[in-house]
Amino acid sequence: MKKIISFRKSFPNKADDVVYQNSFGTILDDGFFLHSDPTGVPITFDGLRKVKVTRRVNNKFNLLLLLIAAVSIVICIYYSLYVIVNIALIGIGIAAFIGAALVRKREYSFSVMRENLDFTNFKLSEKDKNNAQVIAGKVNKILRKHNEGLNRNRLLDNN
């Protein structure tokens, strides 16, 4: 017999319902929701597989700096301008190239994976990263217990 999980549409009034809460989200007895989610739709534990915080490097800024470096060097080589302009273009090209090599812009997202491998991603800011990792760890711990109980019930139902 499958357990039916009901989720309250509003924030719970009882302190017993809240398992954990921080500035990023709130974990309740039967699910969780994120404060940064504009829809405010709660996510139940039923049907969830895993929750994780992922990091990705955004290379658009690096490519733009490389393009600026390449254009300034090409202009300097193919067009003989005044010496001072050539020196300025070489300086801009070298600075842009060094900037492209050193700067890394990271983007963080909170991913919710369902049992049917459907992903839902929420963008994170740098300041929410640590709170999101705490929420993900606690939710995954609850999911392991929840799924273990469901698997045990399925084994008992099959016998």
Query: Cα separation of 49 and 45, whole Å?
Result: 8
Helices 83-102/60-78 angle, 10° precision: 160
Over residues 49-98, the pLDDT tens digits come to 899 999 998 899 999 999 999 999 999 888 877 888 889 999 999 999 99
Say if residue 50 is in the same domain as residue 77. no
Say if CB 111 and CB 54 are below 8 A apart. Answer: yes
Same domain, 49 and 70: no
**How many separate domains does the chain show?**
2
Each residue's pLDDT tens digit, 22-58:
888 888 888 888 887 777 778 888 888 899 999 998 8
Domain membership of residue 12 (yes or no) is: no
Mark whether 51 and 67 lie in a shared domain.
no
Q: Assess if residue 11 is contained within a domain.
A: no
pLDDT of residue 7: 44
- The parent domain of residue 65 ranges over 60-102
